[in-house]
Amino acid sequence: MPIGNVAQVLRLVRSNIRGLKPYVGGAQIISYAEWAKLNQNESPYPPPPSVRAVGNKFNEPGFLNRYPPGDHKELKGRLAAHLGLAPEQITFGNGSDEVLQNVALVFLDKGDKLAYMKPDYSMWPVYEQLTGASPRIIDLPDDYTLPVDRVSAERPKLVFFSNPHTPSGTLTPIDDVRRLCEELFPNIIVEDEAYADFAEGNSLKLLEDCPNLIVTKTFSKAFALAGMRLGYGLGHPSVISQIDAIRLPYNINAATYAVGLAALEPESIEYYDGMIRLIKSERNRLRGSLENVGFSVRPSHANFVLAKTESPEMAEMLYHGLAKNNILVRYFSDERLVDCIRITVGTPEENDHLIAEIGELLG
Ligand SMILES: Cc1ncc(COP(=O)(O)O)c(C=O)c1O
């Protein structure tokens, strides 16, 4: 005899979790040899050989059966040296997604005012629902830059925004970020810099003056390590220690930890710099080719471009037509983006293939 009905159990779920819509990412594929996967802003290139060699460590005594370092001391030290910050200014997460979630859990109580932009990263509503915060959703202007005055006017306890912005690739200037930190002080500014390694600037130097600024970054994009899940948050040491206090024990696994250390070796950084240069030059070439077929493409400071086509029907046709030809791009149903496709910058061959197929589909 069942001891009761599952509906009785589900009634115990917190009310803000009951309606939570989980994150839906871009489609995933099985054979990378057969597909051009240009839908999730990953690197089309593998990380350097020294990083891949970490795989051999699985055979070292204790590597798999012992817990990894829990205080992240060596990794913090190496990253701090790379960024020119102090180790105490860094917290690591299982992807920057975990850091962003930890930030939400540290600062947002039920009913607290949370501001985020639309369109922007699709996890913001998830953190809103997870915490029960009260959302202030701000429509971005047509140029997708951060509307500082409108955000300030809402007086949110915390604001999330991506910079470079996703999915447009637009960069909000550092002076605007600083003004937002000043106007909202002491409330919290969370700047998601997942793509900033592809931009000409970032907001790290604001950390000196703005204890209410938290910047998140990732190894998933420019470091070609999306599969390893390693991200980090940067801020004032006292704020970071609050975030670190709620980290799960050993949240960075042994393989990811070792890969992170290898990725920060000087010769890896040199390799990544070359890869970033190549992706940036392909980004410009891709933008030009997409404009040549009649799309409007905003200048991008990330590893993707947002192409505005003639109509929602054309965007949808291209999405499905490209998928039939083994090319995945991102198509959004959001009303501001229905006539757009977002394309991750691929290898030169993938980009050529994409442009040729778009030419065919447009007849
Ligand atoms: C704007 C933005 N922020 C954060 C993330 C999450 O990155 P991570 O792989 O570090 O969790 C992504 C992933 O695509 C993203 O697009």
| Residues 225-245 pLDDT 10s | 999 999 999 999 999 999 999
Instruction: Name the residue at shortest CA distance from atom 12 of ligand 1.
Output: 194
| DSSP-assigned states of every residue in 9-74 | HHTTS-HHHHTPPPP------S-TTT-EE-SS---SSPPPHHHHGGGGGGGSTTTTTSPPPSS-HH
Q: How far is the CA of 234 from the centre of ligand 1 (A)?
A: 15
Residue range(s) occupied by CATH 3.90.1150.10 in the chain? 6-47+272-361
Tell me if 168 CB under 6 Å of ligand 1: no
Residue range(s) occupied by CATH 3.40.640.10 in the chain? 54-267
Q: Does pLDDT of 67 surpass 90? A: yes
pLDDT at 20: 86
- Best substitution site from 103, 118, 121, 127 to test ligand 1's pocket, by max atoms within 8 Å of Cβ? 121
How much of the chain exceeds pLDDT 90, in percent? 92
pLDDT at 32: 83
Tell me if 192 CB under 6 Å of ligand 1: yes
Burial label, 112 (beta-carbon count in 10 A; 0-12, 13-18, 19+): middle
Q: How far is the CA of 3 from the centre of ligand 1 (A)?
A: 43
The fold for domain 54-267 equals: Aspartate Aminotransferase; domain 2 (3.40.640)
Mean pLDDT across the chain:
96
Q: Give 250's DSSP letter.
A: T
Q: Is 206 helix (H, G, I), strand (E, B) or coil?
A: helix
Q: How far is the CA of 58 from the centre of ligand 1 (A)?
A: 27
With CA atoms as reference, report the closest residue to 163 among 151, 150, 173.
173
The kind and range of the H/E element at 320 are helix 312-324
The 3-state DSSP composition of the chain as helix, strand, coil percent (nearest 5) reads 45, 15, 40
Asked which of 15-29, 166-180, 281-295 is least confident by mean pLDDT, the reply is 15-29
Instruction: Name the residue at shortest CA distance from atom 7 of ligand 1.
Output: 96
Q: Is 333 helix (H, G, I), strand (E, B) or coil?
A: coil
Looking at the whole model, is its pTM more than 0.85?
yes
How much of the chain exceeds pLDDT 70, in percent? 100
Reported as a single tens digit per residue, the pLDDT across 83-120 is 999 999 999 999 999 999 999 999 999 999 999 999 99
pLDDT at 237: 98
Q: Is 272 helix (H, G, I), strand (E, B) or coil?
A: helix
Average pLDDT for 173-190: 98
- Best substitution site from 94, 197, 218 to test ligand 1's pocket, by max atoms within 8 Å of Cβ? 218
The fold for domain 6-47+272-361 equals: Aspartate Aminotransferase, domain 1 (3.90.1150)
Residue found under tokens 């589900």: 10
The terminus-to-terminus CA distance of the chain in angstroms comes to: 65
With CA atoms as reference, report the closest residue to 123 among 217, 221, 25, 228.
25
Distance, CA of 82 to CA of 270 (rounded, Å)? 12
